[in-house]
Chains A and B, each alone.
Chain A
Amino acid sequence: MATSYQEDDYFASGAEFTDNVDQRESLGKVFEVIFLFGLMIGIFVLALLLFDILGDGLGRFLSPGFLTDTPSRFPDQGGIRPAIVSSILLGLVVIFVTVPIGVGAALYLEEYAPKAWWTAIIEINISNLAGVPSIVYGLLGLGVFNYLLGFGPALISGALTLSLLSLPVIIVTSREAIRAVPDSLRNASYGLGVTKWKTISSHVIPYAVPGILTGVIISVSRAIGDAASLIVVGAVGFLTFDPGLFQRFMALPIQIYSYITRPEPGFASAAAATIIALLLLILALNGVAIYIRQRFSIR
């Protein structure tokens, strides 16, 4: 009666088929825990980091004058005001430069650009620029702003360098925001005989504002936290006055780096305290973004 030789052999052998499902499922449970563990390590390190920095620096951060004094040679004296002023100025210039250019570029690529080889090049180029290391942007800034345009190691050179650094991020996120605007909105506007730019400026942009703002905040907080490019452009580690646009400058990350590299023990807690200030600044920026996004979303 044998029609299928294998089957018969199998049953003839007397072995019982087992799928080991319990064992396999329990291995699955083990791996689920491993995956979760891998995920939690990052979050755990983040928590540890914040805890460590608060422990090291909170006392110094709360000491009188830390935010409002100029730096001192002694670790437990003086403050970080020039660094704070520098960072805020840098952030403002970055916003003023990158928002118009970045949103403009995003609008061009989404609304105007024809599908052609040169627009493809622009797109690939932008995604590549997003991966260029910050220190290479420093070389660009040094060459163009310090020497070619003659600004020297001034705040404006650093700010423009950071602007170029954050531009790709703003373009990419703004494009996503603009792409998410429904086409029906544009078509309705065109249907009423409104011109292209009027449609964009009065409908597309307002609709995309929350998304664009998110991108702006992400890239500005990245720019404010960046140190490598500023070191190359010529930021200084010690400044006793609040810088203007065309003066020597520092920044909070540069201040942190300069504190870390000093051997005297007290500077470590000054560095931690400065980190607290930097993180608070970034947190405040993000808070503003969330607030604005929520206000614009309710319509």
Chain B
Amino acid sequence: MQNSTSQDDPYLLPRQSLDKDISEDILERIVEAILFACALVSVLTTFGIVIIIFQETFSFFQEVSFAQFFLDTKWTPLFAERHFGIWPLINGTFLTTVIAMSVAIPLGLCSAIYLSEYAQPKVAAVLRPAVELLAGVPTVVYGYFALLFLTPLLRNFIPLEIFNSLSAGVMMGIMITPTVGSISLDAIKSVPRSLREGAYALGITKLETIFKVVLPAALSGIIASIILGISRAVGETMTVLIAAGLQPKLTVSFAESIATMTAYMAQISGGDSPRGSLNFKTLYAVGAVLFVLTLSLNIVSYWIANRYKEKYE
């Protein structure tokens, strides 16, 4: 019984004839290896980023001390009197990010709530892609619009410098709205219907259901979307480069010109600093700070989104 082979059984073909020839088996293995290599490219990309950035950053810190980098309050690597304090650049990035998020969070959440709770399915099917178009517009275009439309418009009401963090931040916020909106929308949509119906059954109005039941239930997804939005704002380059200027300073005034980390990086690489020079290395040192910052934000967002994902399933 155990050893009943195909030879004994007239209904089974000999195993040999069912087997495809060996070359096919080899082909299968080759294909799998090639596809695996494709998947590996992403890992290599990450290694490439880490190695290249930290190699140059390491050599930067052999010339400039940590104290100069993290304790100085001036960033003037291009002037005769050189200072390498990163804080003015972080300040600029922080300022534009705060402005951007104070636009993107309310607009994103309003869009998500309206699309999920109020809009008829047919209307939502038109409005959602319309909002998401905002994310497809190239960022130079937002820079153009901020500098040549929004700033002149705002200058009628508020005394702004030509380059200022307000218009750059506001435009960036509009651009990030779909990021916050669509991830929040998915989170809100995954709140089970029974929760809403339970609330209605207790005589609660639709608005109260949204604020007291739906949003708290979707909170993890909403927070994840906001953190991802912050990460986008921190890493965004062209809008701030064009509209916020290149003046690294420690200020909380949204009316003045500032410089973000990304804007400085674009400036220094446009200036053709020779490889190996200290200026060239500042590009990587700032890049390392930016990379670590956005990477941690992305990881936190990913972690929050996944942690509570299965709650209702």
Docked Cα-Cα span, A167 to B127, in Å, equals: 28
Q: Are B298 and A234 in contact (CB under 8 A)?
A: no
Q: Are B174 and A271 in contact (CB under 8 A)?
A: no
**B269 at interface, CB cutoff 8 A:** yes
Chain B residues within an 8 Å CB radius of A28: 205-208
Q: B199-241: which residues lie under 8 A (CB-CB) from chain A?
A: 203, 205-208, 228, 231-232, 234-238, 241
Q: A46-B137, A124-B302 are in contact. Are A108 and B49 (CB under 8 A)?
A: no
Chain A residues within an 8 Å CB radius of B265: 135, 138-139, 232
Docked Cα-Cα span, A34 to B207, in Å, equals: 12
**A67 at interface, CB cutoff 8 A:** no
**A59 at interface, CB cutoff 8 A:** no
Q: Are A133 and B107 in contact (CB under 8 A)?
A: no
Chain B residues within an 8 Å CB radius of A104: 34-35, 37-39
Docked Cα-Cα span, A107 to B39, in Å, equals: 9
Q: Are B290 and A136 in contact (CB under 8 A)?
A: yes
Q: Which of B40, B114, B302 is within 8 Å of A127, CB to CB?
A: B302
Q: B33-51: which residues lie under 8 A (CB-CB) from chain A?
A: 34-43, 45-46, 48-49
Q: Which of A24, A38, A46, A256 is within 8 Å of B107, CB to CB?
A: A38
B contact face: mostly helix, strand, loop, or mixed:
helix
A contact face: mostly helix, strand, loop, or mixed:
helix
Chain B residues within an 8 Å CB radius of A257: 140, 143, 238, 241-242
Docked Cα-Cα span, A227 to B236, in Å, equals: 11
Q: Are A226 and B262 in contact (CB under 8 A)?
A: no
Looking at the assembled complex, report how far the CB atom of A121 sits from the nearest CB atom of chain B, in whole angstroms: 7
Chain A residues within an 8 Å CB radius of B28: 195-197
**B10 at interface, CB cutoff 8 A:** no
Q: Are B290 and A133 in contact (CB under 8 A)?
A: yes
Which stretch of B65-73, B77-85, B144-152, B248-256 is in the interface? B144-152
Number of chain A interface residues as a range? 35 or more
Chain A residues within an 8 Å CB radius of B290: 133, 135-136
Chain B residues within an 8 Å CB radius of A31: 207
Residue of B nearest to A171 (CB): B42
**A125 at interface, CB cutoff 8 A:** yes
When each residue 275-313 of chain B gets 1 if its CB lies under 8 Å from chain A and 0 otherwise, what string results? 100000001100100110011011101100000000000
Chain A residues within an 8 Å CB radius of B111: 35, 38-39, 42
Chain A residues within an 8 Å CB radius of B208: 24, 28
Q: Are B39 and A227 in contact (CB under 8 A)?
A: no
Chain A residues within an 8 Å CB radius of B137: 46, 49, 225, 279
Chain B residues within an 8 Å CB radius of A206: none
Chain B residues within an 8 Å CB radius of A131: 228, 231-232, 235, 294-295, 297-298, 301
Which stretch of B1-9, B94-102, B128-136, B189-197 is in the interface? B128-136
Docked Cα-Cα span, A168 to B45, in Å, equals: 10
Q: Are A125 and B262 in contact (CB under 8 A)?
A: no
**B90 at interface, CB cutoff 8 A:** no
Chain A residues within an 8 Å CB radius of B118: 32, 35-36
Q: A32-B118, A112-B32, A228-B238 are in contact. Are A222 and B140 (CB under 8 A)?
A: no
**A216 at interface, CB cutoff 8 A:** no
Q: A15-64: which residues lie under 8 A (CB-CB) from chain B?
A: 19, 21, 24-25, 27-28, 31-32, 34-39, 41-43, 45-46, 48-49, 52-53, 56
Chain B residues within an 8 Å CB radius of A232: 265-266, 269, 283
Looking at the assembled complex, report how far the CB atom of A165 sits from the nearest CB atom of chain B, in whole angstroms: 9
**B106 at interface, CB cutoff 8 A:** yes
16 contacts between A and B (CB under 8 A): A28-B208, A39-B131, A49-B141, A104-B34, A104-B38, A108-B38, A122-B39, A127-B298, A132-B235, A139-B49, A140-B52, A227-B138, A231-B269, A234-B269, A257-B241, A261-B242
Binding site for A on B (CB under 8 A): 18, 20, 24, 27-28, 31-32, 34-43, 45-46, 48-49, 52-53, 56, 106-107, 109-111, 113-115, 117-118, 127, 130-131, 133-134, 136-145, 147-149, 174, 177-178, 203, 205-208, 228, 231-232, 234-238, 241-242, 262, 265-266, 269-270, 275, 283-284, 287, 290-291, 294-295, 297-299, 301-302
List 16 extra interface pairs beyond A35-B110, A132-B298, A227-B238, CB under 8 A: A27-B207, A28-B207, A36-B118, A39-B115, A42-B131, A42-B178, A53-B141, A140-B45, A167-B41, A168-B42, A193-B18, A225-B137, A227-B237, A228-B266, A253-B138, A260-B242
